[in-house]
Amino acid sequence: MTSGTVEAEVIELEATLVPSSSRSAGLPLSELLPRARLVEVSGQHACARTTTAVSCVIHVQAHNELVAWVQPKDGALFPPDLASAGVDLDTFIAIHVPRDRGPFALVRAAEWLARSGAFGLTVVDLTDALPPGSSVNWQGRLQGVLRQYDGRILLLTSNAYEEPSSGPLVGLRVEPRRGPLHADRFEVHSRILKDKVGLATELALTKPIAPTGLRDFR
C-alpha cells in the first residue's frame, strides 16, 4: 500500500463524521471523555487547547482520580493559573521532558504513566511536533495500554481544522475555539472533527476562568 493511499484513507476517516444537524445538545468534553480511547484536542491561533484539557483535569480530580500532564520542559503550564481555575495541585503530576529528547520521549513518558494504572487521565502536550513516521506505531502502544488499564489519554496537537487528526487510532478529535472575554471568564466553543466513539452530541459551550495573562491583555 502506498503512502498516498494511506493518507487518502485517513482523510476519508476524518470525513465520516456525524452531521451536526443530527447531534443533540450535549455536555462539555470533560463530562464525555471516553475511557480506553485516544482523544485529541487540536487547533491553532485563538484555540483553547490547554483550557479544555484543564477542564478535563478538574472533572477527573472531582472523581478522586490522579492526573498526570506530560509536556516539554518550559511548556505552557503555569501553576497559579491552574490553581485559580480549580486544579488540585496536590493530586496533579507534571512531567517535564527535555526538549532535545523529542516527541517520542513525551509519548514514552505517557505510556509509562498509563501503564502504572494509577492515573485517571494523562495529558500529553504534542503541540510542538508529533512523533515522526507512522502514527500507528506509537498510538497503537498507547491504545493497548488504555484498553488494558481502562485509562484515558488526551493528546494536545497543533493540527489545523482542515488537516487530518494525528492518526487513525484517535477515537475522538475536538477543536475548541476561544470566544469573547466577559469579566474574568471567556467562552469556549468546541466542535467535534472526528467521532469514532459514537457520542452523537454537540459539545456544550463552556465559560472557564481566563488565565491571568489573558485578563491582563484586555
Pull the grid cell for residue 163.
Answer: 488537516
Q: According to DSSP H, which parts of 16-154 are helical?
A: 49-62, 79-85, 103-116, 135-149
Give the containing element (helix H, strand E) for 3. Answer: helix 3-15
Confidence band (pLDDT; 50, 70, 90) for 13? Answer: very low
pLDDT of the residue at 212: 60
| Average pLDDT for the chain | 85
Q: Convert 148-171 to b/e letters by CB count within 10 Å (16 or more is b).
A: ebebbbbbbbbbeeeebbbbbbbb
Percent of the chain clearing pLDDT 70 (strictly above): 83
Confidence band (pLDDT; 50, 70, 90) for 185? Answer: confident
pTM: 0.84
What is the tens place of the pLDDT at every residue in 122-166?
A: 999 999 999 999 999 999 999 999 999 999 999 999 999 999 999
pLDDT of the residue at 62: 97
Percent of the chain clearing pLDDT 90 (strictly above): 69
Of 48, 28, 37, nearest to 194 (Cα)?
Answer: 37
pLDDT of the residue at 201: 78
- Cα–Cα dist 153/57, whole Å: 11
For the chain, give the number of residues: 218
Give the containing element (helix H, strand E) for 14. Answer: helix 3-15
Confidence band (pLDDT; 50, 70, 90) for 210? Answer: low
What is the tens place of the pLDDT at every residue in 55-73?
A: 999 999 999 999 999 999 9
- Cα–Cα dist 125/84, whole Å: 21
Confidence band (pLDDT; 50, 70, 90) for 216? Answer: very low
The arithmetic mean of pLDDT across residues 96-102, rounded, is: 97
Architecture of the structural domain at 22-89+103-216: 3-Layer(aba) Sandwich (3.40)
| Domain ranges, ordered by start, for the chain | 22-89+103-216
pLDDT of the residue at 25: 56
What is the tens place of the pLDDT at every residue in 101-120?
A: 999 999 999 999 999 999 99
Strand ranges in the chain using DSSP code E only, listed in sequence order? 38-42, 66-72, 92-97, 119-125, 153-157, 170-182, 185-195
Give the containing element (helix H, strand E) for 213. Answer: helix 212-216
Taken in order 96, 48, 151, 79, the sign of the CA dihedral is positive
